[in-house]
């Protein structure tokens, strides 16, 4: 299993080390999406340039095309559910892989990932 870690988890980790995330990183189980790198780059993580570089070096998640994203949005009726473009792009990427799960702290996004059977909870995988 691979875990696509949402920016909400990364931001929390930058504030207080998350041992579950560290364990996933050490097990080489984390994949990253370029939109996550961009979201983190928009903020002020510690050692900003180094963090952006490290995130960029993680195994890349599969990337859904614009057409695949819009198709998923309509087929699963995900519009108007409180999630934006980046969240839906991450979900589409996870749906392209049977083994990728999404770890987020955003409740609305977590609900969509759960409905798609793509949610990751560190408490269930400890």
Rounded Cα distance between 60 and 93, Å, is: 10
**Residues whose CB is less than 8 angstroms from the CB of residue 62 and which lie 6 or more positions away in sequence, other chains included:** 93, 96, 97, 100
Rounded Cα distance between 100 and 15, Å, is: 25
pLDDT band per the 50, 70, 90 thresholds, residue 78: confident
Confidence (pTM): 0.93
pLDDT band per the 50, 70, 90 thresholds, residue 97: very high
CATH architecture of the domain covering 2-115: 3-Layer(aba) Sandwich (3.40)
Q: What is the pLDDT of residues 19-75, one digit of tens each?
A: 999 999 999 999 999 999 999 999 999 999 999 999 999 999 999 999 999 999 999
Domain spans in the chain, listed from the N-terminal domain onward: 2-115
Which residue carries 């696509």 as its tokens? 4
Per-residue confidence (pLDDT) for residue 125, from 0 to 100? 67
Rounded Cα distance between 82 and 24, Å, is: 28
């Amino acid at each position: 299993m691979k875990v696509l870690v949402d920016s909400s988890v990364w931001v929390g980790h930058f504030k207080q080390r998350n041992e579950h995330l560290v364990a996933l990183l050490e097990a080489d189980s984390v994949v990253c999406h370029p939109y996550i790198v961009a979201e983190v780059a928009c903020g002020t993580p510690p050692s900003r340039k180094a963090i952006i570089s490290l995130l960029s070096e993680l195994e890349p998640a599969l990337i859904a095309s614009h057409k695949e994203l819009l198709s998923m949005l309509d087929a699963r009726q995900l519009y108007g559910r409180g999630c934006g473009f980046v969240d839906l792009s991450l979900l589409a990427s996870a749906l392209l892989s049977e083994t990728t799960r999404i770890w987020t702290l955003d409740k609305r996004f977590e609900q969509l990932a759960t409905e798609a059977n793509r949610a990751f909870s560190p408490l269930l995988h400890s």
